[in-house]
Amino acid sequence: MKACLLRTPARIETNPLQFIEVPEPEPAAGDVRVRVHVCGVCRTDLHVIEGELPTRKSPVIPGHQVIGIVEDSGTGAKRFATGARVGIAWLHKTDGTCEYCKRGQENLCDAPEFTGYSVNGGFAESVVAPESFVYPVPEGFPDEQAAPLLCAGIIGYRCLRMAEVGENAKLGFYGFGAAAHVAIQVALYWGAQVFASTRDARHQRLAMELGAKWAGGTLDAPPEKLDAAIVFAPAGEIVPAALKALRKGGRLILGGIHMSPIPSFGYDLLYQERTIRSVTNNTRMDGEEFLNLAARIPIRTRVQVYPLSEANRALNALKNDAIPGAAVLRVGA
């Protein structure tokens, strides 16, 4: 099969993904093999490719927002019929036995496996995954539009829940890429007001088009005090600026898997019961809840589609803020 393989982490400007022929994976017991139609491109893929996350598997096929159809099932895998449309997300597998898994916090599992990072992912014509970590995909979403729901969407949803967004809440977004352009639709559905801080003018325009009350530069002060804010951009210098924008008791949620160092700041920015909390992975329940909600709202994603062979180009565009919405690789069918 064709795949985009990363042999050694390197800056994306050097086009480190090799579009080559590799052996097709075989589903082990409990696995399904999915014929990939599309795979979304996420900032986490960029962190893996550029080596900002420590290498877990080498070489590796990145990609963790797969939409495709089940084409083969390993021994004992009976959940999906051949031909069923499914999604594969970041969480490939958990051990199911550590104290976090037992407590219902599988997103914090001590021994997790991740799609496109510790196991091969979806920048390929097919991929295998345990059937219990695969999602049925609601009808009504074309493949391209569904792909960004699987990471950008699910992680954004977990961030929104941590932010405790209610009716009339004033919510700040820092960075307005794939996750934020989905999360704003959920936040507005819940009756919140969204204030978008982002460096790129195109992203500011997209925020306003999607219903933000205000959009400005990353470090500009929003016109009103915020009940909560979510930082999607991987830039630590945003943290003090976002704390400054919060009202007393406000909540700051950090949505990324990687962030540049956070500069020191005075205690007064945190005092008065402001909180900072990171979001780490997601549980399968988050995924199922979000996909149902996405169908109900319904979420409309904006995607820019590239062929699989041009994954490097898509990732370069992502790094340069050149994608309004989400990038998606078209693989097959």
Give the residues lining the site for Zn ion (CB under 5 A).
Answer: 42, 44, 94-95, 98, 101, 109, 151
Is residue 287 within 8 Å of 154, Cβ to Cβ?
A: yes
How crowded is residue 134: how many other Cβ atoms within 10 Å of its Cβ?
26
How crowded is residue 299: how many other Cβ atoms within 10 Å of its Cβ?
23
Shortest separation between residue 106's beta carbon and Zn ion, angstroms = 6
Which is nearer to Zn ion, 69 or 89 (by Cβ)?
Answer: 89
Which string of DSSP letters, residue by residue, matches 127-186? EEEEGGGEEE--TTS-HHHHGGGGTHHHHHHHHHHHTT--TT-EEEEES-SHHHHHHHHH
What are the distances in angstroms from CA 184 to CA 19, 116, 156, 230?
35, 27, 9, 11
Is residue 102 within 8 Å of 78, Cβ to Cβ?
A: no
Shortest separation between residue 20's beta carbon and Zn ion, angstroms = 23
Shortest separation between residue 81's beta carbon and Zn ion, angstroms = 28
Which is nearer to Zn ion, 57 or 244 (by Cβ)?
Answer: 57
Token pair of 49, please? 């490719």
Shortest separation between residue 2's beta carbon and Zn ion, angstroms = 22
Shortest separation between residue 52's beta carbon and Zn ion, angstroms = 13
Which is nearer to Zn ion, 192 or 326 (by Cβ)?
Answer: 326
Which is nearer to Zn ion, 44 or 73 (by Cβ)?
Answer: 44
Could you report how far apart the first and last alpha carbons of the chain are, in Å?
Answer: 14
Shortest separation between residue 11's beta carbon and Zn ion, angstroms = 19
Which is nearer to Zn ion, 44 or 283 (by Cβ)?
Answer: 44
Is residue 219 within 8 Å of 242, Cβ to Cβ?
A: no
Which is nearer to Zn ion, 132 or 275 (by Cβ)?
Answer: 132
Q: Strand 226-231 relative to strand 170-174: parallel, antiparallel, unpaired?
A: parallel
Nearest CA among 186, 190, 184, 183 for reference residue 169: 190
